[in-house]
Amino acid sequence: MIAALVARLAQMLLVMFGISIVAFLIFFATPGADPSARIAGRNASQETLRQVRHDFGLDRPLPVQYALMMKRLFISRDLTSFVNRGQKVIPTVMRAIPITLSLVGGAAVLWVLGGLVVGVVAGATRGSAIDRTLMILSLIGISMPVFWLGEVANLLTQSRWHDTWVFSWVPALGYVPLTVDPWGWFKALVIPWFTLATLYVGLYGRVLRANLIETMQEDFVRTARAKGIGEARVLLNHGLRTSLVAFVTMFGLDFGALVGGGALLTEVVFGLQGVGKLTYDALQTLDLPMILANVIYASFFVVMANFVVDILHVVIDPRARDA
Amino acid sequence: METPRLNETTSSSAAMTDDTTPPGQPTPRRHRATEGPWATAWRRLKRDHAALCAFAVFVAIVLASASAPLYATYVSRTNPFDTNLNGEIVIDGEVRQVLEPSTEGLGLGLTPIGPTWRFGPYALGADNQGRDVAARLLYGGRNSLLIAGVAAVICLVLAILVGVVAGFFGGVVDMVLSRVLDVLWAFPIFLLAISLSIVLIARSVRIGPIEIRSGSLWLPIFIIGIVFVPYVARPIRGHVLILMKSEFVLAAIGLGASPLRILARDILPNIVTRVVVFVPLILALNMLIESALSFLSIGVQPPDASWGTIIQDGQGLLYSRPMVALAPGIAIVITVIALNILGDGVRDALDPKSSIRVV
């Protein structure tokens, strides 16, 4: 067990290493990405360019540059941005992480609960009016662009209905740190949470319903019913537990992707300076140190999420324990 | 009972057939060709009214978008790509400026005219450059649908190529292709598309002799076409692997059929239904990802419009003229819902047992 965990951790490190190298190489293969030209500014003379290249170590071989950058990122921790001179990369990313974690964490709670309720209720009442209504709502949920939904939410809560009692509590766009003002943090994030969660409630509800219906036709469910177990318990203890495997796998991948920067659109619409926004800005200015830091951070969460999913998989499905 | 069971056709059933057919006459046998998979699917789809309605809605949206130049010429009567800051229109005999002085807030700046809600110029109002939103909506739909459609073709062709090659040849080829697909699969698709777009969109890209100018629609098309390849290629590869072990392929191999013949006669016809299932779903996903990229100004470049860029144009006018951002969003939602319903219907009709998870 311990050996398997260690092997797994080593594998994770290897994947992160690979991703960072790929990001590094893609950057240098990109046309027009020469960082020295950007640092030196427009119309810089050849001497200035050469000087800049030398100062930033950009005239060294690529492996050396990679090693130097990783050293400054992890060991001396003083890597600075190529674009905003003097801006340290690590504190900038550290400031963005709690914002993204707050946004995605809250939304995740909502979409897991929502997805479970929608999936179980629709699956249990298959073919009924409730089922059909829930499925239509889910379909609408997965068909809305999240940034547009966010704008509609802003329109209603910030402008049109802001003066009524319904949304008068909604604060102006932006982030309030949890440690400073927990209630303000909650109020600032409620609307973004619902916006981000909508797509996933629909998605998870649909998938869970399909899995549940499939599971409820299995032999062991018939056995459970034949033993006289009540329908509700059969549904929750036998049907749901088996159906949760796909649900948990999806959750891990989606959560990892969102924390790793996939919540960009929601962050843009709601003016949250999270990791997604940071990555987006860094990509637009081709700020290599910032891109690398974000990519490594993102891959860490994606890899971690996969790891947690595998563990949960074993917890839920005893059959997976042998593997 | 047109098809008699095996035991009924044996000699013991001769007495039974005598009851129904006069002696001396040949037994009337009605031969009916077995229904092919397409006929079965079409029969099932015809009964699925929701899917048919969705298809009709989608076709209507495509036709409306295709008629964008007609609308711009005869109804809105303005060029939807030129700024029209000093334009005037007549509503109810009253001359109004397209960009009116603001009345809200501090009264500074200009507010574009709101929806007139009549079949004519500025039916949905103007954007902040005085351009007709309704006309731009139709032009934008044309680009959004075009990008989604061409990208879907690219995606499916590449996916078939990769999936069939990996499944058919196996061995090292399969191993390499599968690992590449695994890596792409693990990478958040959306982030991949954004990264590619940011890096490529503002620059001219040269691939061999072909040069794609910045601002060309081909860049978003290629980027969107590539990112969903693993989602389609993996199931296709799996199905090819199953087919390669099936009896009819083994029989063909045993008969000495060439690999090309097996590919053309046995593998590809069996893949096609699987691929068709993906078409509406990939179209829907392409629409969504295109709108997101364009919203971030890394998709369709101005002055060209797409539904995503119009939403972005409307972001600054959200509180004063919300229709600019609302209309294209509603168009996206309706189109994607129609495609998703159609996708569910096509899947149920062609391949009821499959469980596809895209997104």
Q: Where are the domains of chain A?
A: 2-76, 92-322
Q: With helix as H, strand as E and coil as C, how does chain B read? A: CCCCCHHHHCHHHHHHHHHHCCCCCCCCCCCCCCCCHHHHHHHHHHHCHHHHHHHHHHHHHHHHHHCHHHHHHHHHCCCCCCCCCCCEEEECCEEEECEEECCCCCCCCEEECCCCCCCCCCCCCECCCCCEHHHHHHHHHHHHHHHHHHHHHHHHHHHHHHHHHHHHHCHHHHHHHHHHHHHHHHCCHHHHHHHHHHHHHCCCEEECCEEECCCCCHHHHHHHHHHCHHHHHHHHHHHHHHHHCCHHHHHHHHCCCCHHHHHHHHHHHHHHHHHHHHHHHHHHHHHHHHHHHHHCCCCCCCCCCCHHHHHHHHHCCCCCCCHHHHHHHHHHHHHHHHHHHHHHHHHHHHCCCCCCCCC
Q: Which of A74-88, A127-141, B164-178, B286-300 has the lowest mean pLDDT?
A: A74-88
A36 has pLDDT over 90: no
Which of A214-223, B17-26, B54-63, B88-97 has the largest mean confidence? B54-63
Beta carbons within 8 Å of A255's beta carbon, 6+ residues apart: A104, A108, A305
Q: Which of B192, B195, B312, B323 to mutate to test the interface with A (most CBs of A within 10 A)?
A: B195
Length of chain A: 323
Half-sphere exposure of B194 (CA within 13 A, CB side): 23
- A161 contact B CB<8A: no
Residue B186: pLDDT band with limits 50, 70, 90:
low
Nearest CB to A302 within list B186, B206, B319? B186
Average pLDDT over residues A181-201: 93
B214 has pLDDT over 70: no
Strands (E), A15-169: none
pLDDT for residue B138? 92
pLDDT for residue B114? 76
Contact yes or no for A280 and B295 at CB 8 A: no
If contacts are CB pairs under 8 Å, which of residues 271-330 in chain B contact chain A? 284, 288, 291-292, 295-296, 308, 311, 314-315, 318-319, 322, 325-326, 328-329
Residue B18: pLDDT band with limits 50, 70, 90:
very low
User: Tokens 């989602």 label which residue?
Assistant: B231
Q: Comparing B81 with B215, which gets the higher pLDDT?
A: B81
Cβ-based contacts of A302 with chain B (< 8 Å): 186-188
pLDDT for residue A42? 66
Residue B4: pLDDT band with limits 50, 70, 90:
very low
B322 has pLDDT over 50: yes
Alpha-carbon span B33 to B74, nearest angstrom:
53
Q: What is the pTM of this model?
A: 0.84
Cβ-based contacts of A210 with chain B (< 8 Å): 355
Alpha-carbon span A57 to A61, nearest angstrom:
9
What are the structural domains, with CATH classification, of chain B? Answer: 139-304 (1.10.3720.10)
Nearest one of A158, A150, A141 to A201, comparing CA atoms: A141
Residue B208: pLDDT band with limits 50, 70, 90:
low
Q: Do the beta carbons of residue B319 and residue B111 sit within 8 Å? A: no
Task: Give domain A92-322's CATH architecture.
Answer: Orthogonal Bundle (1.10)
Q: Which of B33-42, B86-95, B130-139 has the lowest mean pLDDT?
A: B86-95
* High-pLDDT (> 70) share of chain A, %: 94
CA dihedral in degrees (B228, B232, B233, B235; nearest 10)?
A: 150
CA distance B336 to chain A (A): 5
Tokens of B231: 């989602």
Beta carbons within 8 Å of B281's beta carbon, 6+ residues apart: B339, B340, B343, B356, B358
A317 has pLDDT over 90: no
Alpha-carbon span B315 to A4, nearest angstrom:
51
Which of A44-53, A174-183, B13-22 has the largest mean confidence? A174-183
Q: Comparing B77 with B274, which gets the higher pLDDT?
A: B274
Q: Which of A147, A161, A266 to mutate to test the interface with B (most CBs of B within 10 A)?
A: A147
Q: Summarize pLDDT for A160-177 with one digit per residue, the tens.
A: 888 888 888 888 888 888
